[in-house]
Amino acid sequence: MLKFFKRMEKTRNVLLVIFSVLLVLSMIVFGALSSNQASAILTTSSETAATIAGEYVTVGELATQVQQIQQNARQQAPTATQMVDGRIREEMIKHEAERLGLTASDAELAERIREANQSPDGKPIDQDLYNQNAVAQAGSVAKFEDGIRNGISEGKLQAFVTSGVTVSEEEVLNDYKRKNTKFNLSYVPISAADLAQKITPSDEELNSYFEENKKDYYIGLPQKKISYIFLETTKVGEKLEIPEADLKAQYDKLKEENKQLGVNVQEIVLRVPKEEFDAEVLAKANELIEKLKKESDTVTEEKFAETAKGQSENPNTAVNGGRVKGLVKRANDPAKQDDPYQRILNMEEGQVTEPVKFGSNYYILRRGKAESRSFEDMKKELDVSARNTKAYTANAELAGRVAEELKKSKDVNQTAAKFASEANMSVDTMVYETGYVKPGDEVDMIGVSQDFEQAVNLLTEKGAIGDKFQVSLKKSKDADPVSGFAIPVLVDVKDPRDAEFDEVKDRVAEAVKIKQAKEKLEETAKKIASSAESASGLNSSATTNGLEAKELKDFILGSPLGEGPTATTSEALEEKIYELKKGEVTKEPIKIGDNYYVVGVNDRTEADMEDFAKQRDQLVQQMLQGKRGQVFSDYLAAVRQRMEKAGEIKIYKDALAKVDAFAQENAPPPQPQQPQMPQMPNGQQIPPEIMEQLQRQQQQQAPPPPPQGQ
């Protein structure tokens, strides 16, 4: 009888396991079906998102468009507002063309199709292939041909609207002079941040500000003082030997693109003068690309150069056929990942990008020839990369042993001394202690580090010792950070409380400095401008007011003024610079954003009139095209305003919000960012291919995790 019950118990357990598995699977399947069902419901929704001259744009249409873009192109779709704006533009053009009798005829449509599909050998169009391509591009032959018809109609409408647009010789000449006159400048950027560095508030001012704003300095989280042992990876790596044969083997395994010194690039730059002209400039960019790729998907250097000279609005590169100075290299700095030039590194020679929006410009880029490096050229960085990787593995293992020893000895200095020789360091360069810090604080030498905060967060009792974690130390202001592992010990804890003045004095001082700097910003700018009698005297005037003048040679209007991310320009600034003669300085400061600029011209080189004579016809056409585009954009803006006022255009924001939510929920996964690479001694990054190989080696060499419970 007992055996019978035991068998029943085993059977029951098996049934429970099977039932649990089926339940989980059904939940997964149901969740997937629910998600797919929700998508299907929205893509077939007939809810109105917008009405345009009697035409309806539904939520389903927009959601379907989003789905196609995100599934096929694997990129985030435009916002619903942007898509609706595109539809509004299409319908306005169609509506206006019909009203003015400018709709493309069947004969014009047929002629355009024949031109676009003509065979090099003169054979007639393959109707089946044409239909197949049309369906693939637009969903149906009718929609495809409607798109072509609308394009022809737009051209006829634009020609009609802009038929009276002309450009004078004087306009072209003045524009050429403005874009090709070069200036050697002295300039003083006046910002609150710069002025703040020269201000020294009194203790009375600091105390007064602190008392008035004490609530802003309340410490709402526990503060911890941490002692830690630091093990520098580079120091461990200095003892390693890397055979040259290993480096040569790594070099031979590299793909050709990872042996590149860089890639030659050509560009066509189209500026967007105002936000409302964005669609026009984008349309022009697409038109140029279509012409470039009419005969082949790849474009020759000569053909691209010819177009760049006539169409690019960057005078620095247009004159050289769009050739960008220097070579484009892969940027491993995350802040540079959106650099448009990085696109070409994943392309083949001769290929051309789609229009790439960056800042207020559209870029069309062509990849040119790549320049390669030999084994001898790369030998040093291969050695550094291999050494860094092996050092990382060795240091990780060493840090684990140091942590175990520290947990036994409970003595930071004693433990550091025991491993100092193996770490290739001295005790005083291994042991450090922080002040009282909380999450989000800037920790001395470490900065704000999530790894540090996560490791410290687990320590709750005095004397508690944590596990190793990765960290970078910046031991002085001018020193490069050094990477390694650290093992933390909790020294003391302070509970949440009102801050004492001394522990937030630096923060208070910065706040007071910025406050006082903002109050005297405009006054200082005016003093510098009024006291500088000439460009040569600008630095003296700036120095008197605690600032410094900077120099910039061969400045061309349209280029940013300044250095780094703060570089900027404006129409007012460019107008003032162009008006200045040699030796003159702006008598009033020019405000751009929150900052002021005072500018002097040390020298100016007028535009070359011989070059103007050579380029005149091209420049006339370029300016004429630009003016026509602007007139047409203004015309469409007026049409839209009129139609909105008459109630012929209506947009339903709640419906658009549903589409945007749908796009967010179904967004493609983000492209994986390349890991931060170790730095070469000369500041260059180690190629990703090398790092990938060495990381695989590291994973193979890494010791297995300890069994659970140990």
- Give the pLDDT score at 277: 87
Cβ atoms of 144 and 135 closer than 8 Å: yes
Region 343-348: mean pLDDT is 84
304 within 8 A of 266, measured Cβ to Cβ: yes
Q: What is the DSSP letter of 471?
A: E
Say what the pLDDT of residue 710 is: 34
Q: Which two tokens stand for residue 177?
A: 């002079």
Q: In one letter, which amino acid is 327?
A: L
Please give the span between the terminal C-alpha atoms of the chain, in angstroms, as a whole number.
43
| Residue 10: both structure tokens together | 């085993």
pLDDT given at position 511:
94
Contact 300, 350 (CB under 8 A): yes
- Which of 328, 338, 329, 488 is closest to 399 using CA atoms? 488
Q: According to the per-residue pLDDT averaged within each range, which of 76-85, 311-320, 371-380, 684-693 is highest?
A: 311-320
Residue 134 Cα distances to 83, 124, 143, 588, angstroms: 22, 17, 8, 60
Residue 210's pLDDT is 94
What is the pLDDT, as a whole number, of residue 22?
52
Which residue reads 């959106």 in tokens?
Answer: 338
Mean pLDDT (the chain, rounded): 85
> What pLDDT, on the 0 to 100 scale, is given for residue 276?
84
Q: What is the mean pLDDT of residues 292-298?
A: 89
Q: CA–CA separation, 689 vs 217, rounded Å? A: 48
Phi, psi of 320, deg, nearest 5: -105, 25
Instruction: Say if residues 482 and 472 touch (Cβ distance below 8 Å).
Output: yes
SS3 115: helix
User: pLDDT category, 257, cuts 50, 70, 90?
Assistant: low
Cα(179)–Cα(317) distance, integer angstroms: 12
Q: Write out pLDDT tens, residues 616-663.
A: 999 999 999 999 999 999 999 999 999 999 999 999 999 999 999 988
pLDDT of residue 76: 76
Please give the pLDDT value at position 671: 53
For residue 575, is pLDDT > 90?
A: yes
Query: What distances in angstroms separate CA 693 from CA 25, 64, 118, 234, one per listed residue?
Result: 38, 41, 49, 19
Range 168-172 average pLDDT: 92
pLDDT in tens, 391-442: 899 999 999 999 999 999 999 999 999 999 999 999 999 999 999 999 999 9
Beta strand 223-232 with 482-494 is: antiparallel
Q: What's the confidence (pLDDT) of residue 389?
A: 80
CA torsion sign, 116 to 119 to 120 to 122? Answer: negative
Residues in Cβ contact with 128 at an 8 Å cutoff, skipping those fewer than 6 apart = none
pLDDT of residue 275: 83
Q: Are strands 590-592 and 356-358 parallel, antiparallel or unpaired?
A: unpaired
Q: Is the pLDDT of residue 227 over 60?
A: yes
3-state secondary structure of 449: coil
Q: Which letter does DSSP use for residue 320 in this model?
A: T
Per-residue pLDDT tens for 144-153?
A: 888 899 999 9
Band the pLDDT of 563: cuts 50, 70, 90. confident
Q: Hey, is 170 helix, strand or coil?
A: helix
pLDDT at 597: 95
For the segment 226-237, the average pLDDT, to the nearest whole number, is 94
- pLDDT at residue 700, rounded to an integer: 40
Q: Is the per-residue pLDDT at 696 higher than 80? A: no
Report whether 699 contacts 269 (CB < 8 A): no
pLDDT for 127: 84
The reported pLDDT for the residue numbered 432 is 97
Q: In what order do the strands lie in the sheet with 595-605?
A: 550-556, 182-190, 595-605, 590-592
Q: Mean per-residue pLDDT for 540-561?
A: 91
pLDDT at 342: 84
Residue 18 has pLDDT above 70, yes or no: no
Q: Which residue has the tokens 């419906």?
A: 655
Tokens of 14: 């098996």
- Count CA within 13 A, CB hemisphere, residue 175: 19
Question: Contact 586/594 with Cβ under 8 angstroms?
Answer: no
- SS3 of 23-43: the string is HHHHHHHHHHHHHHHHHHHHH
511 CB neighbour count, 10 Å cutoff: 19
Tell the burial category of 27 from Cβ atoms under 10 Å away from its Cβ (0-12, 13-18, 19+).
exposed
Weakest mean pLDDT among 211-225, 227-241, 592-606, 686-700: 686-700
Pick from 67-76, 414-423, 438-447: least confident: 67-76
Residue 136: pLDDT band with limits 50, 70, 90: confident
Query: Which amino acid type is present at position 103?
Result: T
Q: How many CA atoms lie within 13 A of 158 on its CB side?
A: 21
Confidence tier at 168 by pLDDT (50, 70, 90)? very high
C-alpha distances in angstroms, 347 versus 265, 284, 298, 338, 404?
11, 23, 11, 16, 50
Pick left, alpha or beta for residue 433 (phi over 0 → left; psi -120 to 50 → alpha; otherwise beta). beta
pLDDT (tens digit, 9 = 90+) per residue, 179-220? 999 999 999 999 999 899 889 999 999 999 999 999 999 999
Structural tokens at position 97:
């063309």
Question: H or E element: which one contains 356?
Answer: strand 356-358
Query: How confident is the model at residue 682, as a pLDDT?
Result: 37
Edge-to-edge strand ranges of the sheet holding 431-437: 431-437, 223-232, 482-494, 469-473
pLDDT for residue 117: 80
Q: What is the pLDDT at residue 337?
A: 60
Report helix, strand or coil for 474: coil
pLDDT-based confidence at residue 30 (cuts at 50, 70, 90): very low
Average pLDDT of span 479-507:
93
pLDDT tens for 323-339 read 998 888 876 555 566 67
Could you give phi then psi for residue 437, rounded to 5 degrees?
-130, 155
Q: What percent of the chain has pLDDT over 90?
A: 56
Is the pLDDT at 110 greater than 70? The verdict is yes
Compute φ and ψ for 200, nearest 5 degrees: -125, 95
pLDDT at 359: 84
More reliable by pLDDT, 608 or 127? 608
